[in-house]
Amino acid sequence: MNRNGEKSRVVERRTLVVILFNLLAFAVIAARLYFLQVKEADKYKMLSDENRISTRFLVPPRGLIYDRNGEVIAKNEQDFQALMVAEQTPDIEDTLETFKKIIPLSEGEEQKIRKDLKNKRRFIPIKLKDNLSWAEVSKILLHAPDLPGVEIDEGLSRYYPYADIYAHVLGYVGPVSDKDKKDNPLYMVPGFKIGKSGLERYFDYKLQGKGGTIKLEVNAYGRVMNEIERNSGEEGQSLTLTLDARLQRAAYEAFGEESGAAVVLNVRTGEILALVSTPSFDPNLFTNGISYKHWNALLNNERTPLVNKAVSGQYSPGSTFKVVVALAALEAGVIDLNTRFNCSGGLDVGNIRFHCWRHSGHGSLNVVEALKHSCDIFFYETAMKLGIDRIHDMAVKLGMGNVLEVGLDNEKAGIIPTKAWKKARFGTSWTHGDAANSGIGQGYVLVTPLQLATMLARVVNGGYAVQPTFIKPTEKELAKVKRLDISTKNIEIVKRGMFEVVNGAGGTAGRARFNYNGALMGGKTGTTQVRRISMKERSSGILRDEQLPWRLRNHALFIGFTPVDNPRYAVAVIVEHGSSGSGVAAPIASRILQKALQLDIK
């Protein structure tokens, strides 16, 4: 009995232990379920959402660019691109092969795709093909079941309606490259474009805008099922430039087949009304990545269409520089209106004979007459008496020798030499011959067309240091423009000389004169020697510069302003290897200034 009772009590205790253990286990499971389902519900909901929700960056519309009258010169157009998300593509190789059968890919495009697949995280979409037509989009959508992870993205592509006319000003946008900084998350978006050159690059931070995001619900195959949330971001700021589209076209077309550059300024404000460089290129070719064929053709063109000659071209200014020398000499008191030098056609400087362009000579001239006839002897004499350092100081005061910082790529400073500059550069002393050459804008002197236009504007506006700009200055900014320490009387003497160049009997630019409703033009011609005609060439019958091969001919220059009595517009023109400033560059400038007067640009 006792034994049975003890056995019964043992069984009861064991049963109790099992029950208690089961109760404890149940309690632990219940507590865990409560923790997971109640306390951690938000966390696991979030993890679940992450498995079915895809977050993408939205590219904001790029800001538009307008001319001064509201004409759109850089805009956005709808385009389509095919993207692939690697983590949503079970067999990447199979998907790529299928896509290539539908939409052919170049070798370069396929290499880029494989590079992106290797370098980018699997959840980031990569571009398969952009700039798709409606027909191509339809083909891809038709084969959607065979292309897991592939989707069509609708976006905007940059378009330049004026093509080559604005190429050197606006520049272009292009795909993000390995060299570009990746601190902006937008740079990871397939097909995102950034400013690569010109004002597109300079104002890129404004034009880009701020990216948005979109949350999409996707199924197990990566297909977008629903849009959950959208934050559109901010579209880029638009820009209004000082350029006039009508004048820009006229300036570009005035060159015809010639190679060169022109810059037109409002002399009172410094606003750039037109800036062209010819020949040019179509910036639309760069938007989606230029082909090797097109790139090679541009690169190997002897007339350098990729170079913005208006700011990157450095040229000897030739006789246009006589305006600077004359003003510097008048200001220094080295000459005055009554000073005369005799031109017999040549001048001995040391043991070197310096010639005037007119070998028979000009006779006795004062500064106005010397400008009118572009007498070299007068300016040899003047420069040697004046000295290069004082010429340098006046040139710099008028905007030469420094970068003017208008926002364009590769703007050059040019060279306005001094005695110290030559010593540091070549280890030799300055000579009278150096001074004589500088007096006619040759030798070491180099300038850009933009600098020539700025110099002329500062002279004819009465000596105000206007700064060339593509953005209209405010009244407050204009009020701060300083008046240069230059005598109004001396400015008027130089202006009189430029008036005679065009309108006086025997002036070097007489064929370019006009009278537009009473408005006349003043200016200064220039021709810079590329090289002399050799004796061998002369013996073969080559007697004139125009008979030389194009690349060996002289450069032709002209600076002009109008109206003479109340200047509003200044223009600088260079025609590369144009042979004659008076015969080629001056007529181009004349047409451009007459167009400005016709348009009455305020």
User: Amino acid identity, residue 289?
Assistant: G
The domain that holds 123 is classified in CATH as: 3.90.1310.10
Do 481 and 353 share a structural domain? yes
Do 272 and 236 share a structural domain? no
Q: Is 291 among the domain residues? A: no
What radius of gyration do the chain's Cα atoms show?
36
Do 207 and 152 share a structural domain? yes
Do 448 and 313 share a structural domain? yes
Q: Is 326 among the domain residues? A: yes
Q: Is 21 among the domain residues? A: no
Domain end marker among 189, 213, 240: 240
Tens digit of pLDDT for each residue in 202-211?
999 999 988 8
**HEC sequence for 378-444:** HHHHHHHHHCHHHHHHHHHHCCCCCCCCCCCCCCCCCECCCHHHHHHHHCCCCCHHHHHHHHCCCCC
Q: Is the pLDDT of residue 419 over 90?
A: yes
Do 230 and 254 share a structural domain? no
Q: Is the pLDDT of residue 380 over 90?
A: yes
Do 362 and 338 share a structural domain? yes
| Mean pLDDT computed over every residue of the chain | 87
Do 260 and 207 share a structural domain? no
Query: How confident is the model at residue 46, as a pLDDT?
Result: 46
- In angstroms, the first-to-last Cα distance of the chain is 125
Do 479 and 440 share a structural domain? yes
Do 563 and 454 share a structural domain? yes
Do 312 and 335 share a structural domain? yes
Q: Is 2 among the domain residues? A: no
- Cα 143 from Cα 151, distance rounded (Å): 11
- Cα 373 from Cα 377, distance rounded (Å): 11
Query: How confident is the model at residue 182, as a pLDDT?
Result: 66
Report which secondary-structure segment, H or E, holds 58.
strand 53-58
Q: Is the pLDDT of residue 440 over 90?
A: yes
Q: Is 420 among the domain residues? A: yes
- Cα 205 from Cα 208, distance rounded (Å): 6
Retrieve residue 129's tokens: 């093909």
How many Cα atoms are found within 13 Å in the side-chain-facing hemisphere of 314? 15
Q: Is 153 among the domain residues? A: yes
Do 512 and 594 share a structural domain? yes
Q: Is the pLDDT of residue 11 over 70?
A: no
Cβ count near 163 (within 10 Å): 14
CA-to-CA separations, 84 to 51, 102, 141, 155, 373, in angstroms, rounded: 18, 15, 13, 16, 70
- Cα 129 from Cα 45, distance rounded (Å): 36
Listed range (11-25, 72-86, 462-476) with the worst mean pLDDT: 11-25
Query: How confident is the model at residue 154, as a pLDDT?
Result: 78
Q: Is 271 among the domain residues? A: yes
Cβ count near 583 (within 10 Å): 18
Domain end marker among 187, 220, 240: 240
**Catalytic residue numbers, as ranges:** 319
Q: Domains in the chain: how many in total? A: 2
The domain that holds 343 is classified in CATH as: 3.40.710.10
Tens digit of pLDDT for each residue in 320-371?
999 999 999 999 999 999 999 999 999 999 888 999 989 899 999 999 999 9
Tens digit of pLDDT for each residue in 571-591?
999 999 877 787 899 999 999
Say what the pTM is: 0.84
The answer to whether the CB of 314 falls within 8 A of the CB of 445 is: no
What is the domain extent for residue 195?
A: 54-240
Tens digit of pLDDT for each residue in 32-70?
555 545 555 554 444 444 456 777 777 889 999 999 999
CA angle 456, 460, 464 (to 5 degrees): 90
Do 194 and 270 share a structural domain? no
Retrieve residue 250's tokens: 């006229």
Q: Say whether 207 sits in a helix, a strand or coil.
A: helix
SS3 content of the chain, % helix, strand, coil (to 5): 45, 20, 35
What strand order describes the sheet that includes 555-562? 272-278, 260-266, 569-575, 555-562, 522-528
- Cα 92 from Cα 358, distance rounded (Å): 77
Q: Is 584 among the domain residues? A: yes
